[in-house]
Amino acid sequence: MNEIEALLRVGVATLLGAALGLEREMTGKPAGLRTHMLVAEGAALFMVGSILLTEQFGVSPALNVRVDVTRVASTIVTGVGFLGAGMILRARDRVYGLTTAAGIWVAAAIGMLAGSGYYIVSIFGTILGLLTLVALRIVERRLGLLSSAYPVEDAEDE
- Which strand (E) or helix (H) includes residue 89? strand 89-91
Q: Could you give the 3-state DSSP secondary structure of residue 2?
A: coil
Of the listed ranges 10-14, 47-51, 54-58, 96-100, the least confidently predicted one is 54-58
Q: Quickly state the pLDDT bin for 157 (edges 50, 70, 90).
A: very low
Indicate whether 50 pLDDT > 60: yes
Q: Phi, psi at residue 90, to the nearest 5°?
A: -125, 130
Show the DSSP H helices in the chain as ranges: 3-26, 33-57, 70-85, 98-115, 119-142
Asked if residue 100 lies in contact with residue 31, where contact means CB atoms within 8 angstroms, the answer is yes
Give 95's strand partners: 90
- Which strand (E) or helix (H) includes residue 95? strand 94-96
What mean pLDDT, rounded, does the chain reach? 85
pTM over 0.85: no
pLDDT for 30: 77
Q: Quickly state the pLDDT bin for 35 (edges 50, 70, 90).
A: very high
Asked if residue 158 lies in contact with residue 135, where contact means CB atoms within 8 angstroms, the answer is no
pLDDT for 116: 95
Length of the chain in terms of residues written: 158
Asked if residue 12 lies in contact with residue 114, where contact means CB atoms within 8 angstroms, the answer is yes
Asked if residue 121 lies in contact with residue 113, where contact means CB atoms within 8 angstroms, the answer is yes
| Alpha carbon separation from 133 to 20, 73, 126 (Å, rounded) | 9, 25, 11
